[in-house]
Amino acid sequence: MNRLPPAPSNCCSFEDYKLTTDWLKKQTRHRPTVAVICGSGLGLLADRATDKQTFRYQDIPNFPVSTVQGHEGCLVFGTIEETSCVFMQGHFHLYEGYSLCKVTFPVRIFKLLGVEALVVTNASGGICPDFKVGDIMVIKDHINLPGFAGQHPLCGPNDDRFGTRFPCMSDAYSKELRRQCVDVGTALGCGSFIREGVYCMVSGPNFETIAEARMLQILGCDSVGMSTVPEVTVAKHCGMRVLGLSLITNKVSLDYSREEKVNHEEVLQISKMRAEVIREMVTRMISRCTQSINTH
């Protein structure tokens, strides 16, 4: 039997994941097939679920705790249109001081719980000049800037129980789910502010300098944020289908003559403005995720 090399000290072991999964299975009767990660100010995505059970992150063994305003810090199990789901009300970031093993810890728990599709939402700054504040971007691809510098959630020993050593990322975001999501947005009358684009992750916690923003635009980035990519990478590694939605909460400054300055309070305000639309889109997409799972 092949043995894995010792895990680096900042990595979680399979036993850590199993302990948390076993604890949750004992606490809840739900066996979710779809997971939703709620970004800044978007925790109400879980409101439509019925038969809910809620667990605070701090009460779950081995679970990280969210420290950012706008992230409630609860794991919510429930049912939407006969689909068993689990919602993360708040996720984790490198800038909070967590290792990427901890940032992505919940995704591997979802895998062990039986989740097959992940919907991830976030707030981001718009780089594409055509984007407006309040637009909803369906993520078609991403650029993992921390990964270029060796900050990658799959670094270290690979555990084949989760996925292959070298996963393909050219189709990280399901083309079928992206198409259906655009159709859903159009049917809801939101076609004028539904976009598709490339999301770039930076580590934060500062917002970008103008020079950095100009570089990202040259690289082909349409929006930029401080999350999502590690979770998507691990979800893809685990064989999940992924849909990503990014709410454009501010325009990234590309001009030295601009006086406006972005702040986190404005991000939360725009999130609140569009939260109902995103909630309706996610609710309708959950059943489509289930249909997609059943046909593959």
Is 142 catalytic? The answer is no
Picking from 88, 108, 127, the residue whose alpha carbon sits closest to that of residue 282 is: 88
Report DSSP state, residue 295. T
CA 10 to chain centre: 21
Write down the catalytic residue from 30, 93, 142, 237. Answer: 93
How far is Cα 285 from Cα 25, in angstroms, rounded to an integer?
25
Residue 95 among the catalytic residues: yes
Residue tagged active-site, from 264, 266, 280, 287: 264
Q: What are phi and psi of 53, to 5 degrees?
A: -130, 130
Instruction: Exactly one of 72, 81, 96, 212 is catalytic; name it.
Output: 96
Let me know if 226 is a catalytic residue.
Answer: yes
158 as an active site residue: the answer is no
- 66: Cβ contacts below 8 Å, ≥ 6 apart: 57, 72, 73, 90, 91, 92, 96
**How many angstroms separate the CA atoms of 202 and 147, rounded?**
10
Residue in 30, 71, 91, 237 annotated catalytic: 71
N- to C-terminal Cα distance for the chain?
A: 32
- CA–chain centroid gap for 279, Å, is 15
Catalytic residue among 17, 40, 117, 292: 40
* Residue of 13, 95, 203, 280 marked active site: 95
Which of 35, 123, 213, 281 is labelled catalytic? Answer: 123
Active site residue 96: yes
**Maximum distance among all Cα pairs of the chain, rounded to whole angstroms:** 63
Other Cβ atoms within 10 Å of 48 Cβ, number: 18
Q: Is the peptide bond before 106 cis (omega within 30 degrees of 0)?
A: no
30 is catalytic: no
246 is catalytic: no
Among 35, 49, 117, 226, which one carries the catalytic annotation? 226
Residue tagged 């949750």 (tokens): 24
227 is known as an active-site residue: yes
* Residue 40 designated active-site: yes
Residue whose token pair is 């992230």: 71
123 counts as catalytic = yes
Tokens of 49: 């679920």
Q: List CB contacts of 27: < 8 A, sequence separation 6 or more.
A: 53, 55
Among candidate residues 250, 253, 271, 292, the one labeled active-site is 250
Q: Which residues are catalytic?
A: 40, 71, 93, 95-96, 123, 226-227, 250, 264
